[in-house]
Structures are given as structure tokens and as C-alpha cells.
């Protein structure tokens, strides 16, 4: 399933907080990727299909600088990234080895990649920020990836921040971090997310006008009726 421009536009106006609420109501509790904080404050909300990459723990015979020249490498993975995708990298929460630096991020920008999201960290942070690539991660570190990780492949199911991510799942990331919308729930979020945002904006307005929370949030029957009338 490809994400239409209309769907991207709609999702870009739905917060990750709202998405977690909408999915929670459908029984999905584990959709927020732990450790995915925006590297640059004020990054705009981004939406795109997940392009998955996976690291495993470093093994001395595999995690070497020579591995960067092999076909199965982060370099090879970047050349396989389609325009508009969001690279989601399983770094197992390792925070003392930077998975990508400025050169790799610069190449991702040239390939039209929308963002990089990982439960690990980046390196060359000033250079990474200089590329303009939006990054959500758990910080930064000087050592290279092979100091703590072995890259093993791309385009397969991964775990990132304790969440299962499948290729082409929809990722939304904003100031609260990154969330995944499984393919089967995209239409539901598109329908319910917009209404949830509208309803909460109305509630905030009521609070600003002095309303008390009991009966307002969550709404009782009387409040639901007033809200319904406000939409007519």
C-alpha cells in the first residue's frame, strides 16, 4: 500500500499524541518508539513509509572498518532507500556508538529520504545537523557504529525502541517522538485522528473559557450534545 499525498497531508496535521490515543482505543498500546527524540528542537512533523535497517551486537570479526565496503553495509542500504521514505534503524538502544554520521546523512538527503529515526545515536552531530536531515534519536556519541554494533541488513521486520516495525509501516514523528501506524490501521487513524484533534481543540477552548474538567474531559452526555451542536 502506498501512502497518497492526501493521506500524508492529513497525517501531518495529526499529533503523535493523538495517534497513540486513537490506536489505544483499538487495543494497540505499544506504538511509540522509545528513545526517539528530535535532534533539533522545532523539527516539523513528518510522515512517511518505514525503510527498516537492523544492527545486532558487535562481533569482533564482523564489526570492522572493512565491513563498511561490503555489499551488506549501511552504505548499501542507503543506496536502496526510496525517495520519501523514513529510515527506521534498530540499534538496540545502544548509545555509545553512532550509527550514522554527517557523510551518510548527507547522502540520504541527496536521495530524498525524509528522516532518520533510531533508538540509538548519531555521531558528527554538528555535521549531521548541517545536512538538514531531520533526525529522531537518543542522542549522540563520538565512536563509530562498529565500536558497538554489527550491521546485518535492511528491508525486514525490526524492533526499534521496543516496537515492532515492518517495512512500509507508516511512521509519524514530531516533538513527542515517533509512532508507528500499522498498515491495517492507517484508514482508521485518518478518519478518527482528524475528529479527535477537532474535539480536543474544542475542549481546550472550553477550558480557556473557564470550564471545569469533570464532565468535559471525558465528555458527559450534556457536553457531547453541546459539542455536536458546535459542529453544525
Retrieve residue 32's grid coordinates.
511509540
Retrieve residue 101's grid coordinates.
554520521
pTM for the full model? 0.94
Residue 75, CB-side half-sphere exposure with 13 Å CA sphere: 8
Which residues are CB-neighbours of 183 under 8 A, at least 6 positions away?
A: 1, 166, 168, 169, 170
Convert the pLDDT of each residue in 96-114 to its tens digit.
Answer: 999 999 999 999 999 999 9
Convert the pLDDT of each residue in 129-171 to its tens digit.
Answer: 999 999 999 999 999 999 999 999 999 999 999 999 999 999 9
Q: What is the domain partition of the chain in residue ranges?
A: 5-182, 188-230
Convert the pLDDT of each residue in 161-211 to its tens digit.
Answer: 999 999 999 999 999 999 999 999 999 999 999 999 999 999 999 999 999
Please report the pLDDT score of residue 64 as a whole number.
85
d(C-alpha 142, C-alpha 170), whole Å: 31
Retrieve residue 30's grid coordinates.
505499544
d(C-alpha 76, C-alpha 144), whole Å: 17
Retrieve residue 31's grid coordinates.
506504538
Please report the pLDDT score of residue 1 as a whole number.
56
Task: Print the SS3 string covering 140-164.
Answer: ECCCEHHHCEEEEEECCCEEECCEE
Which residues are CB-neighbours of 195 under 8 A, at least 6 positions away?
A: none
In 3D, which of 171, 153, 144, 180 has the Cα closest to residue 45? 171
d(C-alpha 1, C-alpha 8), whole Å: 13
Would you say the C-alpha torsion 171, 151, 157, 96 has a positive or negative sign? negative
Measured CA to CA in angstroms, residue 41 lies from 37, 99, 136 at distances of: 9, 21, 10
d(C-alpha 151, C-alpha 160), whole Å: 14
Q: Is CATH 2.40.128.110 correct for 5-182?
A: no
Amino acid at each position: 500500500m502506498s501512502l497518497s499525498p492526501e493521506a500524508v497531508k492529513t497525517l501531518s496535521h495529526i499529533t503523535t499524541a493523538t495517534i497513540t490515543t486513537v490506536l489505544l482505543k483499538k487495543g494497540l498500546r505499544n506504538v511509540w518508539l522509545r528513545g526517539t527524540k528530535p535532534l533539533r528542537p522545532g523539527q516539523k512533523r513528518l510522515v512517511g513509509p518505514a525503510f527498516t535497517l537492523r544492527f545486532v551486537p558487535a562481533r569482533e570479526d564482523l564489526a570492522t572498518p572493512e565491513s563498511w565496503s561490503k555489499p551488506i553495509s549501511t552504505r548499501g542500504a542507503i543506496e536502496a532507500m526510496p525517495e520519501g521514505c523514513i529510515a527506521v534503524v534498530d540499534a538496540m538502544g545502544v548509545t555509545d556508538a553512532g550509527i550514522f554520521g554527517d557523510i551518510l546523512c548527507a547522502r540520504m538527503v541527496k536521495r530524498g529520504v525524509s528522516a532518520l529515526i533510531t533508538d540509538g545515536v548519531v555521531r558528527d552531530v554538528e555535521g549531521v545537523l548541517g545536512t538538514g536531515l531531520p533526525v529522531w534519536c537518543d542522542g549522540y556519541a563520538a565512536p563509530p557504529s562498529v565500536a558497538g554494533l554489527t550491521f546485518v541488513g535492511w528491508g525486514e521486520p525490526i524492533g526499534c525502541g521496543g516496537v515492532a516495525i515492518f517495512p512500509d509501516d507508516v511512521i509519524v514523528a514530531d516533538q513527542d517522538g515517533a509512532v508507528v501506524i500499522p498498515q491495517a490501521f492507517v484508514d482508521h487513524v485518518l478518519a478518527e485522528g482528524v475528529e479527535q484533534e477537532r474535539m480536543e481543540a474544542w475542549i481546550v477552548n472550553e477550558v480557556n473559557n473557564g470550564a471545569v474538567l469533570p464532565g468535559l474531559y471525558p465528555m458527559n452526555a450534556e457536553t457531547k450534545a453541546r459539542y455536536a451542536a458546535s459542529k453544525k
